[in-house]
Amino acid sequence: MSEAPRFRFAPSPTGFFHVGGARTALYNWALTLRTGGTFVLRIEDTDESRNSPEWTQGIIDALSWLGIDSRHPQFEGPYFQSENAHLHVAAAHRLYEAGHAYWCDLTAEQIQERAKETGKQGYDGYSRDRGLEPGPGRVLRFRVPEGVTVVNDLVRGRVEFSNDTIEDFVLLRGNGTPMFLLANVVDDIEMRISTVVRAEEHLPNTPKQQLIWDALGHTSPVWAHVPVLVNEQRKKLSKRRDKVALEQYKAEGILPDAMVNYLMTLGWAPAGDTEIVPWSRIVDEFRLEDVNHSPAFFDIKKLSAFNGDYIRAMSLESFIDACAPFLVDAPWPADRFDAGTFAQMAPLVQTRVVTLSEVPAMVDFVFLADPEIDTDAWTKTMGTDFAADVLRDYSAAVGDCTWDHETLKSILEKWTEERGLKLGKTQAPVRVAVTGRTVGPPLFESIEVLGREETLRRLGSALARLA
RNA sequence: GCUCCCAUCGUCUAGAGGCCUAGGACACCACCCUCUCAAGGUGGCGGCACGGGUUCGAAUCCCGUUGGGAGUGCCA
C-alpha cells in the first residue's frame, strides 16, 4: 500500500507573488485535493536574513486568495528552509565521508583562468583527488559520478543527461553555509516529499538533485516540470518587464475564481467546449500527464474576458459585496456616497465592467456634486441644432412627471418621434448634461437613481452653458 | 559555446495513425438586438514551421532542418 502523496510548494522570498508561482501552487493544490495527499508550503531561502514575517504572511494571503487555505487539514507549513541549515550541513558531511564530495580551495577567478586555458566552460574537477581537508574559504563540491542520469518526468517523459556535462557543483560555500540545491534535497527527504511539481526552468538542475538523492541513499521523488509562462516576446515572465504580481491583479479587481480558472487553462484544458469551469471540475479532471509541453503566453486580455464572465455570473448581492473595497478610495466625497443608491446602480454596471476597478468610474456621476463634463463629449453632442431644444423641453416635461425610468424614457421618445428624429441622437445631449459623458449605464435608469432635483439642476446648468 | 526542453489559427488549447473538410475559447470583423456603451444571439476570418522517411493511410510515429525557450553562480 502506497502512502498518500506529499506535494510541496516552495516560493522564494522575492517580495511579491508571481502569477507563474500561483499556477504551480494551483497544480499542487488540485492534485493534493484529488489524491487525498498533503500540500507542504516551504519558504525557500538558505539565508534566513532574507525571510520576513511580512513576506510569509504575504504568501499565505496570496494562497488563501487563490483558495488554498493554510488552515485546511491537507495543508502543512509554512516551513522555513533556513531553519534546517544544520540538517543541510550534516548531510553535506555525510556525503564527504562517503566519498561523494570533496573540498576545493579554488576561487572563482582561478576557475575561470583554468577554464580559459583548457578551453572548456566551468569547473574542471581540479581538486577531485587532491585530498584537501576542510578549511576556511574551502567549498565542498559534489563528486559527479560517471555515466548517465535519467530523469523520469511526468510531463516530459524520460530525459537523459550525460554526467560528463554536469560539473562538480558546490554543496557548501566557503563560509560553511549550504547551497540551495543541497538544502532542497535534504528538505524534500526530511519532509517525505513524493512528487515535485515545479516550473520547467528547474529541469536542467534536476539531474544534480537526483544525484544527491542517490548519494544520500534515497529514491528521488516523481518529477513534473511544467512549462513556464511567457510574455508577448515569448520570454519568461519577468518582474521588470511584465505585470506578474498576483497582488496587482487582485488590486485591479480580478476575481480569484477567474484568475484560478484562467491560470489552469494555461497548458491544460478541461474536457468539453468551454474553458470556464468550476474548481471542483478542475480537481476531478486535472492530470499532470495532460499538461502541455510548451510555454504559454499569459494573455491579460483573455484573463479579463474570463473575469467579465465571472462578474456577470455573480449574484447581484455578491457583486455588490465584491465592489465594496473599490468604492472606498473613490473619486467622490465620502459623505456623498450612499450604499442604497449604489445598489440601484449595481445591476446596470455589472454587465459593463470587466474588472471591479472600473466600477467607480462608471457610477461616479451619481455621487459627484458636479461631475466634470468631458470636452469632446460636449462638442460632439451639443453642436446639433436640437440640443438646446431637447434640454429645455425635457427639463420642463420631467419637472412634474412620474419618476420612473419608463416614464422618463417615454417622454423623450415622444419628443423625438414628433420631430422625426432618432432616440439614439436625442438622448446624447441629455446624457452629456446629466453624466458628463457620451457612454455609460442606461440613461433613464440613471436619471431615476439620480433624482428629480439633481437632474433638473444638471439640465439647467447645461442649458445655461449652451446659451 | 555547451546541456536540456519545445513547436496545431494572432493567443490559449482539443487532438493517443483512419472519427480531421483539424474542434473550442480569447481577440478581431460583420450582422441582429438596442437610449449610449456593454451584455446576449448569429455568422465570418484564421492554423498542423519546413524537408525527408515509416504506413494502404500521418497533425499524430522516426530522422533531419529551421525557429523559439530555459539552464549553465560560493543566487534561489
For residue A164, the tally of other CB atoms under 10 A from its CB is 10
In this prediction, residues A49-69 reach a mean pLDDT of 93
Question: For residue A96, is pLDDT > 90?
Answer: yes
Query: Which positions of A are catalytic?
Result: 239
What letters, b where the CB count within 10 A reaches 16 and e where it falls short, cover A97-109? eeebbbbbebeee
Q: What is the pLDDT of residue A127?
A: 85
- pLDDT (tens digit per residue) in A162-173: 999 999 999 999
Q: Which residue has the cell 580551495?
A: A105
Q: How confident is the model at residue A262 (pLDDT cuts 50, 70, 90)?
A: very high
What is the average pLDDT value for chain A, to the nearest integer? 93
Q: What is the pLDDT of residue A45?
A: 87
What torsion do the CA atoms of A311, A312, A314, A320 make, to the nearest 10 degrees? 70
pTM attached to this predicted model: 0.94
Residues 367-396 of A with CB under 7 A from strand B: none
- pLDDT (tens digit per residue) in A369-420: 889 999 999 999 998 889 999 999 999 999 999 999 999 999 999 999 999 9
Q: What is the pLDDT of residue A1?
A: 42
The residue whose CA lies nearest the C1' of nucleotide B4 is A204
Q: Identify any residues that bridge with A226 across adjacent strands, giving them in sequence order.
A: A199
Q: Where are the alpha helices (DSSP H) in A136-276?
A: 180-190, 206-215, 246-251, 256-264
Question: In terms of Cα–Cα distance, which of A97, A212, A88 is closest to A144?
Answer: A212
Percent of chain A at pLDDT above 70? Answer: 100
| A345 CA from B35 C1′ (Å) | 17
Residues 136-155 of A with CB under 7 A from strand B: 137-139
Q: Is the CB of A116 under 7 A from strand B?
A: no
Q: Which residues contact A199 (CB under 8 A, 6 or more apart)?
A: A20, A24, A225, A226, A227, A228
Q: What is the pLDDT of residue A2?
A: 62
> In this predicted structure, which of A52-56, A278-282, A294-298, A307-311 has the lowest mean pLDDT?
A52-56
Q: Which residues contact A66 (CB under 8 A, 6 or more apart)?
A: A22, A25, A26, A29, A246, A256, A259, A260
| SS3 (DSSP) at A204 | helix
Question: For residue A443, is pLDDT > 80?
Answer: yes
Question: In terms of Cα–Cα distance, which of A25, A26, A24, A32 is closest to A4?
Answer: A32
Query: Sign (positive/negative) of CA torsion A307, A309, A311, A315?
Result: negative
Cell representation of residue A34: 484529488
Question: For residue A155, is pLDDT > 50?
Answer: yes
Q: What is the pLDDT of residue A195?
A: 96
